[in-house]
Amino acid sequence: MTLLLLDLDGVLREFGPDDPVEDAFGLPRGSLGRLAFSLVGPALVGEVPDARWRAAIRDRLAADVGPDAARDAVAAWSRLGAVVPAALDLVRVVRRRHRVALFSNATDRLPADLRALGLDRELDDVVTSAELGAAKPDPLAFRKALARLGVPAGETVFCDDSAANAAGAVEAGIDGAHTPDTAALHAALAARGLLGG
């Protein structure tokens, strides 16, 4: 049985643009994402909780827009996102014959997000960078994920919308596929015989 290891954001979950949030609070477009990702490193490897990371974003914004607007902007930016229905359909097909696990660069908020989205019932296992103390695309993160899942690299297919993450998987000995959209995900799974026939 093959393990299908999937990324979450950009594969199974999508977010709308940040523009409406930034426009509503008078922030330059692209600024929220840049600030958030400049501060996320420790939360992604489990060194600080998600709540502390979001508080750091809020505190940094407060200097520009004031504490109340900063709080509300971060709350609006921290939306749940939505499941990609066509990608979930593919996961359900693969799960008829194979194990499917999620491997996400994510903070300790991820389990709550998965429950809210209903994805906790659609996957056989979930591994996060916060649990492992290492993040994609580092090959060490992939090796730790496989050790946690108990599956050899040679029996694993990994799909991610980031080419760098797919390359990290390949470096770890995994069959890594860059799947920037659902059509690419379908093609990658079909080419590997994971959709049956």
- Interval 165-182: pLDDT, tens: 999 999 999 999 999 999
Give the SS3 label for residue 5: strand
- The token pair at 41 is 């490193």
Question: Would you state the pLDDT for residue 130?
Answer: 98
- Beta-strand relationship, 99-104 and 125-128: parallel
Burial bucket for residue 191 (CB in 10 Å: 0-12, 13-18, 19+): exposed
Question: Would you state the pLDDT for residue 196?
Answer: 83
Q: Please say if the pLDDT value at position 76 is more than 70.
A: yes
Helix 85-95 to helix 182-191 angle (10° resolution) is 20
Question: Would you state the pLDDT for residue 7?
Answer: 98
Residue whose token pair is 């994971």: 194
Long-range contacts of 66-74 (CB under 8 A, 24+ apart): 69/25, 69/26, 72/25, 73/21, 73/22, 73/24, 73/25, 73/27, 73/32
Rounded average pLDDT over 190-196: 95
Work out the percent of the chain whose per-residue pLDDT is above 70: 99
Provide the whole-model pTM.
0.94
- Interval 34-54: pLDDT, tens: 999 999 999 999 999 999 999
